[in-house]
Chain A
Amino acid sequence: MDLFSKITNDRWTCGLTDGACQTAGIDSLVEDPAHGAVAQFFGVVRNHNDGLIATAVDYDVHPGLATKALAQLCSDICTGYPVRLVIIHSRGLVRVGEASVVIAASSAHRKDALGAVSDAIDQLKIRVPIWKKELGLSEEPRWLDGHSLREDKK
């Protein structure tokens, strides 16, 4: 997958890609012969939200801040769990059925990989400067509300 912004080290990789994320082969990025578990999460654009039909989501990103926040998130997750981790998020248009975020973690035993992936998506949603504009069939595109970073940093 082509990443226009990426930070990596020996435990984790994070990055941003234009358009939909590729899901095939994401597990290969966390391969480790000492690890017996691989957990993956794909965030996929669905065809409805708040009772309205959705056809796509257009993701807006602050590349510098988002990559930095993803890197800090990976570092935090890898401090809490003995895992190898990858997180990739989309920028731009992602259509229904396509993935906008992919996360994979591997660990020696399943609980750590599953916990790491679950925490990673929960934290991504409230920490990373990314915004989504939902596109429908007939309504005006609408920006979705989210989590205030200002209130976090007071």
Chain B
Amino acid sequence: MITVSVQCLGVFRELGDYFDVDVESRSVLAIRNAVSARLQKLNRPDLEAVLRRSIFAEGDEFLRDHIVIESSTVSLLPPVAGG
């Protein structure tokens, strides 16, 4: 298993600034599924719904779900609301 650190932004800050998930591969889909499982365990269906509309990023690059990341840290970006 690989440990990936997830940086929380926006509403996900309710979970802290970072949390770790253990995944079998560094694919974004695997990380998304691990985050979803964590939210289920925390009984946060509200954040699960937000997760489905959220995108991951590595550094300054957005990540589609089929991408395999190189590092061990991703950012979790909920729907944006600037202005």
Contact = CB atoms under 8 A, between A and B. Distances in A.
B4 to A, nearest CB: 17
B62 interface: yes
B80 A150 contact: no
Interface residues of A, number: 32
B75 A147 contact: no
A45 to B, nearest CB: 10
A89 interface: yes
A150 B82 CA distance: 16
A69 to B, nearest CB: 9
A144 B82 contact: no
A126 interface: yes
Contacts, number: 84
Interface string A130-154: 1110000000000111111111011
Interface in B28-83: 53-55, 57, 59-60, 62, 64, 75, 77-83
Interface in A24-77: 43, 59-60, 62, 64-66, 68
Contact of A60 (B9, B60, B64): B9
A100 B80 contact: no
9 contacts: A62-B9, A64-B60, A89-B82, A101-B83, A125-B83, A129-B57, A148-B54, A148-B55, A150-B53
